[in-house]
Structure formats: structure tokens, C-alpha cells
């Protein structure tokens, strides 16, 4: 818990320092979003946002504001950043969540299947495919899918800004492509890890013992090897949470999906400090929550951890 | 787990102390050349006859490339790609600086009608009037340079950071590793966007930006290795003989973790190339006159609906094959090191 708070504070500090390097003038200019701002206007903005205060005071104010969920106001839309995040976050969670669940559902059986068919043509084919998908930039896959399904076959439609989460979720023509893009890349790495972790488990002593006692292949695979092989995968899911959020930036930009990644990208390109700091901190917070969830999942998968804590 | 346990420490002295002197007890006086300390027998690989015959990581790597088909494929692809990018422009002269106003035309033609300039372009012309084949070479140069340099810097920083944290331990370790944890918790692409928007980067800045986030993984790996290595007898022996901490880290711990480091560095190159492509897609990568495959691909993708496949397929193929090649090599190295571990 202490470490989680430390991580969030540290993130704020790092992002904050990075932006302060820009200097108050250019920050104020970005907020006014006009290149021809007069010095008087600039000074007013600098005063209003407190850019002239000592850095430590600014950081302290920022932390206080964040603790009260006050993320400031977005200069572009004149809305509070909190309300923008409130709209964008559920959409991102939908996209990332669905694709993560989908990739786990696909990758784990794939890994098991490859273990069973080890060193056979189907194993080699799947391995080759996973290498190719792992090496493919997300925007390449996304653009190709867009090209085929949206422009060529007209099966998919773009997502508009005004859609609510249930509208996006139940409109398969909108959500399928972004989810597929994100999931394909995740499946590529997860299935490789699942395969090697399952292979490792199959060489363990307990598998040999189970075999010696006459357990069938199915029982050995699923009762003995499978649960042990899951543990590294859970670690991987926990570790990949920030990567998934980061990978979602590309996917969201490709499909113009109005989530956190798109919000951050547009804000960063327009030097909107408040928005970028807020989204980055929120994304980090989610990552921290995610890794706590991974810890809980460990205990579900591995009885040894469950009993050790009693 | 240590992967190259037998290597490093005695590699450079293998010739001096092989054979009969293998069982020599380490000299008791610290002033005597500490380099010739022979690690206790049980820390060596059991199958090793001569010191260094199984030891050197470079020998192991060499054997991997002979035995493992995947590694050979990866290496061949890589050599072809390097030859294409750096050797290609010597044979195939191409102008990638002057912008020629000519329409996008397919493979074999260089522009259309009156502006059909120069020798035929084997892969056609792109939207800015550049010859695609030549552009592929120039772009590949930046991709390889950024990938290799970023991976190299990230590995060096990460190795030193991890080794120091693991070796010193205590509060220093906690502080150093908390810092790594914090940076790892921030979605890396968001942070990259923040940094890249601030610096409007060129090639060198991009190398440092990408390396600036990539060093975290080797730091964690090497710290883990160091924690197991620092309790080894040969480290204790150096300490007893008055070897400094710096000497232990540089001469004994890092060389023994070299297997893990090399495997990770291979993957780092692949990841750096992909990161550069992602940044290019977000328009935060290289700018004219420099370019990279991701940049070409992004440009091409805007014309995807027009059927100009030669703007997408060549650049996409180059990225995917190069990254796959590095991953093949990394995988093969890791497999062989793990097998070696299991054998012990």
C-alpha cells in the first residue's frame, strides 16, 4: 500500500518536472492557445495557474488538488479535466479490458495446444505466427484491418465522440477492430509465454509422479501442469498492464477511439500540461491497482501462497 | 539464476592458469595480481575440462549460432538487412535529399509522363517523390542505428544500476529499485509522448529517449542476478583478499551475469525498433531529411485506400523481418543458456 502511494507520487513528480522544463512562458502560451498572446495576457495566465510560484509550492498545490480529485481545467474544451477523464476512462477500460480478457481466453488454450502438439507442424505454424504478430507495429495491423474491413468491405464503422460506453460495447461494428488489434498483439506474446511455461511444467517431478501413478494425459495436463503453468502468466498480465495502457495509445489513435490514450496524445501534442499530468497519473493509478489485483489472482491460482498467508 | 557462471572472471586468464594450475589455491596476499584468482571448483561447470573451454560466453554464443537453426535464420536475415541498408546505397545510387515533384507511381517507373526522371525505380515512387527502394535503405540505417544504440545505452545503464543496487543492498537498493518500480508503473508510451513532444527530437535525442525508459528491464534482471551472485564463494574470496566493491561488481558480478545481459540486449534492439516505429506513427519520430521504416509506413498508410501497396508492403516487411530476426536470435540464446543451466 505504502509503495503504491509512493509510485503515484513519484509519477506526479516525474511528469511535473518534465513539464516544468518547458518554462512558464510557453506553458501559458499553450493554455491561451494563441500564438499572438500579449505579455499582459501571458502574465495573467502565469499568475492564475501559479506558474511563477517556487516549484515545490506548485508541486505541493498539485498534490493537494489531486487528492481532492481536482485536476484543473482543459484549455481546449474549457471543461474540467476530471469530466474529460470520466468520459474517456470507461471507454479505455472497455477496450483494454475486453481485449485483455479475449487474449487470455485465446492465448492460454493456444499455449496448451502447442505443448500437446510440440514440435509438430501446427506448433511450428503457431510459433511462426506469434513471432510475426509480436514483431508487427500496432499501427500497421490496425491500418491493415481498417483498410480491409472499413474501406474495402464496409463491415466496420468509425466510433464517434458522442457514443456512450454501452453504445460502443454493443455495436460490434465499432468495437471489433480495435479490440482485435490490441488482442492479436497481446495473444502473440502471451501464448509464447504460456507455451514455454507449460513446457517447463511438463518436465517437473510432479508430472512424472502423476504419470507413474497412471494419470492420463488429460489429467496430467489440466490437473497437474496447467495450474502451475498459470503462475508466470499471471505475473505477465500484471506486468503488462502499463504496456497495455501504452499500447492502447497507438490503437486508440489509429481507430480514433475516444479513450485515455487519444486524450493524452492530443493533449501532449498541444502542450496541455494539466490534461497530460492528470491522465498519466490516473493511468499509473490504474496500473498500481492492476498489480494489486494480480497479487490477489496469484493466491487464487496457487494454493501455496494462500496458505502461506494464513 | 546465474547464466554465464563460468565465464567472465577467469576468461582473460584462461590461458595462464589452465591445466595444472586449475586447483591452485588463490594467493593469500591481496597485493598479488587479483585477476588470477581461480574460483573454487564447485562454481565451475562440471563438464568443463580446460578453464575457458565451456566458460566464455562468446564461445557459447558461437555454438548457439552453429547448432540452432532459428538463430542461423535470424543471423542471416540480419546480415542481409545490414548489407541492404549500409551497403545498398554504395551500389544503388539514390537521391534522398532533393524533393522531386512527381506523381506516385508503381514499381519499375520513376514518375509519369514528362517527369519520368532517372533510371527506373524498382519499388516505385512515394508521395514526396522519393525513390522507395533508396528510401528503404536510408530509413533502415536510422532504424538500425537507433535500435542498436538505444539497446546498448539501456543495457549499460541498466546493468550498472542493477549491479550496484543488488551488490550494495540495504537502503541504497530499496531507493534505487523503488525508482525503477515507479518508472515501470508509468505507461511507457505516455511518458515517451510527453518527452518526445517536449524535445522535437532528432536521431540522437530519440536514442536517449528510448534508452531512457528501456534500461529499467535490464536493471531489474541484473539486480536479481547480483543478489544470487554476491553470495558466491569467489565473491567472498575477493572480499577476503581485500578486493574493492568496484572490482567485485565490474570484474566478477557483471561478467558472470553476461548471459542474461546479452539475451536481454537482443530483445532490447527489437523493442527499440518497434518503439521508434510507434513514435514515428505519432509524428514524434524522425523528420525530413531523416526517415525510418515506421515513418515510411505511416506515410504509406494514409494512401492505403488508393491501392499504393508499394508504400506499405516494403517498409512493413522490413520492420517485421528485422524485429523477428532479433527475436529469433534472442530466443535461441535464451534457450541454449537455459538448457545449459538445466544440465548443471
pLDDT (tens digit per residue) in A56-65: 787 787 778 7
In this structure, of A131-145, A238-252, B20-34, the range with the lowest mean pLDDT score is: B20-34
Q: Which residue has the higher pLDDT, A13 or B38?
A: A13
| CATH T-level assignment (fold) for domain A81-308 | MetI-like fold (1.10.3720)
Please, which residues 15-54 of chain A have a Cβ atom closer than 8 Å to chain B? 15, 18-19, 21-22
Residues of B in contact with A136 (CB under 8 A): 316, 319-320
Residue B16, pLDDT above cutoff 60:
no
Distance CA B292, CA A277 (A): 29
pLDDT of residue A196: 81
Cβ <8 Å between B182 and A21: no
pLDDT single digits (tens) A83-113: 888 888 888 888 888 888 898 899 888 888 8
Model ipTM value: 0.81
Question: Please, which contacts does A230-234 make with residues 24 or more away whose CB atoms are closer than 8 Å?
Answer: A230/A108, A230/A197, A230/A301, A231/A197, A231/A298, A231/A301, A231/A302, A232/A193, A232/A197, A233/A104, A233/A108, A233/A190, A233/A193, A233/A194, A233/A197, A234/A294, A234/A297, A234/A298, A234/A301
Distance CA A16, CA A14 (A): 5
The reported pTM is 0.79
Vertex A275: Cα angle to A274 and A278 (nearest 5): 85
The terminus-to-terminus CA distance of chain A in angstroms comes to 19
Closest CA to A240 of A206, A290, A168: A290
Scored b (16 or more CB within 10 A) or e, A168-183 reads bbeeeebbebbbbbbb
Q: Average per-residue pLDDT in chain B?
A: 74
* % of chain B residues with pLDDT over 90: 9
Q: How confident is the model over A71-81, as a mean pLDDT? A: 74
What cell does B144 get? 538500425
* Domain positions in chain A: 2-67, 81-308
Q: Which residue has the higher pLDDT, A128 or B62?
A: A128
How close B209 gets to chain A, by Cα (Å)?
A: 12
Q: Which residue has the higher pLDDT, B226 or A299?
A: B226
Residues of B in contact with A287 (CB under 8 A): 185-187
Residue B27, pLDDT above cutoff 60:
no
Cβ <8 Å between A268 and B197: yes
What cell does A47 get? 499568475
pLDDT of residue B286: 82
Which of B182, B282, B312 is opposite residue A253, by nearest beta carbon?
A: B282
Distance CA A81, CA A86 (A): 8
Q: Does B344 contact A at CB distance below 8 Å?
A: no
Residues of B in contact with A284 (CB under 8 A): 185-187
Cβ <8 Å between A18 and B187: no
Query: At which residue does the C-alpha cell 480491409 appear?
Result: A148
How close A154 gets to chain B, by Cα (Å)?
A: 12
Cβ <8 Å between A280 and B187: yes
pLDDT single digits (tens) B195-209: 777 777 788 888 888
What cell does B27 get? 594467493
A119, A202 contact by CB (below 8 A): no
| DSSP letter (8 states) at residue B21 | G
Q: Give chain B's radius of gyration (CA, Å).
A: 25
Crossing angle of helices B69-82 and B132-168, rounded to 10°: 120
Q: Average per-residue pLDDT in chain A?
A: 79
For residue A97, list its beta bridge partners: none
pLDDT of residue B157: 93
The region, left, alpha or beta by phi > 0 then psi within -120 to 50, assigned to residue B108 is left
Cβ <8 Å between B186 and A139: no
Q: Does B197 contact A at CB distance below 8 Å?
A: yes
Q: How far is CA B74 from the centre of its chain?
A: 14
pLDDT of residue B31: 36
Amino acid at each position: 500500500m505504502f509503495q503504491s502511494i509512493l509510485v503515484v507520487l513519484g509519477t506526479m513528480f516525474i511528469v511535473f518536472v518534465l513539464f516544468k522544463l518547458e518554462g512558464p512562458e510557453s506553458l501559458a502560451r499553450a493554455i491561451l492557445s494563441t500564438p499572438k498572446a500579449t505579455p499582459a495576457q501571458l502574465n495573467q495566465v502565469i499568475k492564475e495557474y501559479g506558474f511563477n510560484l517556487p516549484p515545490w509550492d506548485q508541486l505541493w498545490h498539485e498534490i493537494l488538488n489531486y487528492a481532492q480529485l481536482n485536476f484543473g481545467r482543459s484549455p481546449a474544451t474549457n471543461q474540467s479535466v476530471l469530466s474529460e477523464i470520466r468520459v474517456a476512462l470507461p471507454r479505455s477500460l472497455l477496450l483494454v479490458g475486453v481485449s485483455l480478457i479475449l487474449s487470455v481466453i485465446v492465448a492460454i488454450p493456444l499455449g496448451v495446444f502447442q505443448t500437446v502438439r510440440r514440435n509438430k507442424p501446427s506448433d511450428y505454424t503457431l510459433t511462426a505466427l506469434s513471432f510475426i504478430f509480436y514483431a508487427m507495429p500496432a499501427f500497421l495491423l490496425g491500418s491493415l484491418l481498417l483498410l480491409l474491413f472499413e474501406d474495402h468491405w464496409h463491415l466496420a464503422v468509425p466510433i464517434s465522440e458522442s457514443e456512450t460506453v454501452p453504445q460502443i460495447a454493443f455495436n460490434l461494428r465499432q468495437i471489433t477492430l480495435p479490440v482485435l488489434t490490441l488482442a492479436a498483439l497481446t495473444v502473440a506474446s502471451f501464448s509464447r509465454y504460456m507455451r514455454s511455461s507449460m513446457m517447463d511444467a511438463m518436465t517437473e517431478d510432479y508430472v512424472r509422479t502423476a504419470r507413474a501413478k497412471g494419470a492420463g494425459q488429460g489429467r496430467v495436463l489440466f490437473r497437474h501442469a496447467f495450474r502451475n503453468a498459470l503462475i508466470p502468466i499471471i505475473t505477465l498480465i500484471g506486468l503488462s498492464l502499463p504496456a497495455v495502457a501504452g499500447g492502447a495509445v497507438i490503437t486508440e489513435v489509429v481507430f480514433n477511439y475516444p479513450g485515455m490514450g487519444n486524450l493524452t496524445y492530443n493533449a501532449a501534442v498541444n502542450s496541455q500540461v494539466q490534461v497530460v499530468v492528470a491522465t498519466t497519473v490516473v493511468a499509473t493509478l490504474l496500473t498500481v491497482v492492476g498489480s494489486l489485483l494480480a497479487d490477489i489472482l496469484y493466491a487464487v491460482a496457487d494454493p501455496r501462497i494462500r496458505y502461506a498467508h494464513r | 539464476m546465474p547464466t554465464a557462471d563460468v565465464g567472465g572472471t577467469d576468461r582473460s586468464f584462461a590461458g595462464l592458469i589452465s591445466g595444472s594450475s586449475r586447483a591452485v589455491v588463490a594467493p593469500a596476499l591481496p597485493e598479488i595480481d587479483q585477476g588470477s584468482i581461480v574460483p573454487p571448483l564447485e562454481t565451475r561447470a562440471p563438464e568443463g575440462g580446460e578453464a575457458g573451454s565451456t566458460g566464455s560466453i562468446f564461445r557459447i554464443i558461437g555454438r548457439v549460432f552453429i547448432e540452432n537453426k532459428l538463430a542461423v535464420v535470424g543471423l542471416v536475415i540480419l546480415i542481409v538487412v545490414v548489407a541492404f541498408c549500409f551497403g545498398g546505397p554504395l551500389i544503388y545510387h539514390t537521391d534522398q535529399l532533393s524533393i522531386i515533384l512527381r506523381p506516385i507511381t508503381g514499381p519499375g517507373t520513376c514518375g509519369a509522363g514528362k517527369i519520368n526522371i532517372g533510371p527506373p525505380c524498382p519499388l516505385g515512387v512515394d508521395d514526396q517523390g522519393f525513390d522507395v527502394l533508396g528510401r528503404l535503405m536510408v530509413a533502415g540505417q536510422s532504424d538500425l542505428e537507433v535500435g542498436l544504440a538505444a539497446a546498448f545505452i539501456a543495457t549499460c545503464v541498466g546493468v550498472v544500476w542493477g549491479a550496484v543496487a543488488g551488490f550494495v543492498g540495504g537502503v541504497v537498493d530499496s531507493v534505487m529499485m523503488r525508482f525503477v518500480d515507479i518508472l515501470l508503473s508509468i505507461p511507457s508510451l505516455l511518458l515517451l509522448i510527453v518527452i518526445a513532444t517536449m524535445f522535437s527530437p532528432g536521431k540522437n535525442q530519440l536514442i536517449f529517449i528510448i534508452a531512457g525508459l528501456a534500461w529499467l528491464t535490464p536493471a531489474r534482471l541484473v539486480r536479481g542476478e547480483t543478489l544470487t551472485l554476491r553470495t558466491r564463494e569467489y565473491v567472498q574470496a575477493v572480499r577476503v583478499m581485500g578486493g574493492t566493491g568496484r572490482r567485485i561488481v565490474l570484474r566478477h558480478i557483471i561478467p558472470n551475469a553476461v548471459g542474461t545481459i546479452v539475451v536481454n540486449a537482443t530483445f532490447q534492439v527489437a523493442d527499440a525498433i518497434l518503439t521508434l516505429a510507434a513514435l514515428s506513427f505519432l509524428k514524434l519520430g524522425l523528420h525530413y531529411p531523416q526517415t525510418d521504416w515506421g515513418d515510411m509506413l505511416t506515410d504509406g498508410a494514409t494512401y492505403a485506400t488508393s491501392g499504393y501497396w508499394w508504400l506499405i508492403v516494403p517498409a512493413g516487411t522490413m520492420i517485421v523481418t528485422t524485429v523477428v530476426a532479433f527475436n529469433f536470435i534472442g530466443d535461441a540464446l535464451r534457450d541454449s543458456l537455459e538448457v545449459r543451466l538445466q544440465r548443471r
